[in-house]
Amino acid sequence: MSRLVAVSNRLPLGDNPSGGLVVALADALRSSGGLWVGFSGEQAEEPADRLVFHDGAPFERASFDLTPTDYEAYYLGYSNSVLWPVCHGRPDLMHIHPEELEGYRRVNARIADLLVPHLRPDDRIWVQDYHLFPLAAELRSRGVTARIGHFLHIPFPGPSDMATLPNPDEMFDWLSHYDLLGFQAERDLSNFVESARQLARIEPLAEGGYCLNGQETRAGVFPIGIDTAAFIEEARHAQVEDRMRSLTGSEIMIGVDRLDYSKGIPHRFRAFQLLLENNPDLHECISFLQIAPPTREEVEAYRDIREETEHLAGRINGQFATVNWTPIRFIHRPLPRKVLAGLYRQARIGLVTPLADGMNLVAKEFVAAQDVSDPGVLILSRFAGAAETMEDALIINPHDTWELAEAMACAIRMTPNERRRRHSALLQGVIENDIGWWSATYLDALN
């Protein structure tokens, strides 16, 4: 079996990683073994011109540092102030600076230089996410002939958002050098085809193949999953139940997200406010626990969303809190996974309300963590990739505060039979399409 070489921007070297990519890829590499290459998270004025290898089974890890200038241009700049907002339907938050695009190209070229000496001809190279779109082109120009696939963890933009990029032509050129393009949802594959049809040259070939700007590639949908069996066990053995009960004395509604403007956290706070306004009988009966670790705080839009969220939570608590009850508790830091698993299990409602999201693994973790005999209810945005396969959740439009508040009320009052019926259908999907299924299906297609 040929070796799997995964390349991503983020390489988890510490504890408690948050973010779907690292959680999923760690789960996938644990079973297949291989090499994972990524950014160490460290900035250095003069980074080493070779990869640094880190000990630790069951897979090899190798990292590189970035200069502060490259970090700013490639990660904070083009990746997270251009590609991220555009892919999440917020081109109004985009900041275009030509030197940042230059830095993005430069870092991808440098990663190719660092990687090439460690590659074998029969490796399968699996490039992850939007930080590394140009990597296949850079590797090919250095003579790499191994199979190279790309998987996009976030949504692919439709033509009108795609056209707001400073370089849509170049984007399609980057993509055309991959053997396989993987997307989270049907929505993304059709956006890719439609955007390419309007902004580049694309012709369908047989069996998911395309001729993109004169190069043959294939594209498909591979919805990512979680390590379901391990997460079920984690949740079953978590010991937080009594602690949680004594803390609140009421039912819990939980949200777990990086504090990102794409996650719709203010929208769910406003819906909770409306729920409390319209249902005085629910006061002191339900509490909202929002766990939202910081992310990309050097980018202005992320500082704004933090301020907005904290302000809103404070206002709602000021409006409704009693001496015995704090309606919203907001934890702004990462938690160990086993604690998260226990909190999900304890919650009566899981709130996953992104305005745009590739998949959203929290939706799957919430389902896996439930006690099958008394499960909680998942409220899921129709704009999460997960909504394509998790139809037994309460599917909502997060922009519609009334609909969301109504779904919260419906979840609180749902009968145990109805909760069990919905949960059992959801759990079956999360078990069948787990992380092993995702990586095996993708890598089969790449082979």
Question: Is there a cis peptide before residue 134, judged by omega within 30 degrees of 0?
Answer: no
Q: How far apart are CA 52 and CA 292, in angstroms?
A: 31
Is 258 among the residues that bind ligand ADP (CB under 6 A)?
Answer: yes
Site for ligand ADP in 266-325 (CB under 6 A): 291, 293
Out of ligand F6P, ligand ADP, none, what residue 365 binds, judged by CB under 5 to 8 A for its kind, is ligand ADP
Among 162, 235, 259, 340, which residue interacts with ligand ADP (rule: CB under 6 A)?
340
The active-site residue, picked from 150, 153, 177, 423, is 153
Q: How far is the CB of 23 from ligand F6P (least distance, A)?
A: 9
Q: How far is the CB of 295 from ligand F6P (least distance, A)?
A: 5
Which residue number, 224 or 275, has a Cβ lying nearer to ligand F6P?
224
Binding mask 425-444 for ligand F6P (x = CB under 6 A): --------------------
Q: Sort residue 92 into left (φ over 0), alpha (ψ -120 to 50) or beta.
A: alpha
Out of ligand ADP, ligand F6P, none, what residue 296 binds, judged by CB under 5 to 8 A for its kind, is ligand F6P
Site for ligand ADP in 166-225 (CB under 6 A): none
Is 393 among the residues that bind ligand ADP (CB under 6 A)?
Answer: no
Site for ligand F6P in 283-342 (CB under 6 A): 295-296
Which residue number, 275 or 359, has a Cβ lying nearer to ligand ADP?
359
Catalytic site includes residue 357: yes
Q: Sort residue 123 into left (φ over 0), alpha (ψ -120 to 50) or beta.
A: beta
Is 361 among the residues that bind ligand ADP (CB under 6 A)?
Answer: yes
Interface with ligand F6P by CB under 6 A: which range of 20-28, 162-170, 271-279, 322-330?
A: 20-28
- Are 180 and 149 spatial neighbours (Cβ–Cβ below 8 Å)? yes
Among 11, 154, 289, 435, which residue interacts with ligand F6P (rule: CB under 6 A)?
154
Among 60, 100, 365, 392, which residue interacts with ligand ADP (rule: CB under 6 A)?
365
Instruction: With CA atoms as reference, report the closest residue to 395 among 407, 409, 405, 413.
Output: 407
CB atoms within 10 A of CB 187: 17
Q: Are strands 394-396 and 377-381 parallel, antiparallel or unpaired?
A: parallel
- Are 276 and 315 spatial neighbours (Cβ–Cβ below 8 Å)? no
Which residue number, 67 or 287, has a Cβ lying nearer to ligand F6P?
67
Kindly list the distances between the CA atom of residue 150 and the CA atoms of 40, 124, 131, in Å, as whole numbers in the listed order: 21, 11, 11
- Are 147 and 119 spatial neighbours (Cβ–Cβ below 8 Å)? no
Among 4, 10, 72, 299, which residue interacts with ligand F6P (rule: CB under 6 A)?
10
Among 96, 163, 247, 335, which residue interacts with ligand ADP (rule: CB under 6 A)?
335
Out of ligand ADP, ligand F6P, none, what residue 10 binds, judged by CB under 5 to 8 A for its kind, is ligand F6P
Among 8, 18, 370, 439, which residue interacts with ligand ADP (rule: CB under 6 A)?
18
Which residue number, 99 or 297, has a Cβ lying nearer to ligand F6P?
297
Binding mask 242-271 for ligand F6P (x = CB under 6 A): ----------------x-------------
Torsion of CA 310, 313, 315, 318, to 10 degrees: -120
Which residue number, 361 or 414, has a Cβ lying nearer to ligand ADP?
361
Out of ligand F6P, ligand ADP, none, what residue 334 binds, judged by CB under 5 to 8 A for its kind, is ligand ADP
Which residue number, 24 or 443, has a Cβ lying nearer to ligand F6P?
24
Among 256, 355, 367, 404, which residue interacts with ligand ADP (rule: CB under 6 A)?
256
Instruction: With CA atoms as reference, report the closest residue to 291 among 218, 341, 358, 230.
Output: 341
Among 8, 79, 273, 360, which residue interacts with ligand ADP (rule: CB under 6 A)?
360
- Are 181 and 217 spatial neighbours (Cβ–Cβ below 8 Å)? yes
The active-site residue, picked from 123, 173, 357, 392, is 357
Residues in the chain: 447
Site for ligand F6P in 64-123 (CB under 6 A): none
User: Applying CB under 6 A, which residues contact ligand F6P?
Assistant: 10, 19-22, 129, 153-154, 258, 295-296
User: Applying CB under 6 A, which residues contact ligand ADP?
Assistant: 16, 18-21, 23, 256, 258, 291, 293, 334-335, 340, 359-362, 365
Residues labelled catalytic:
153, 357
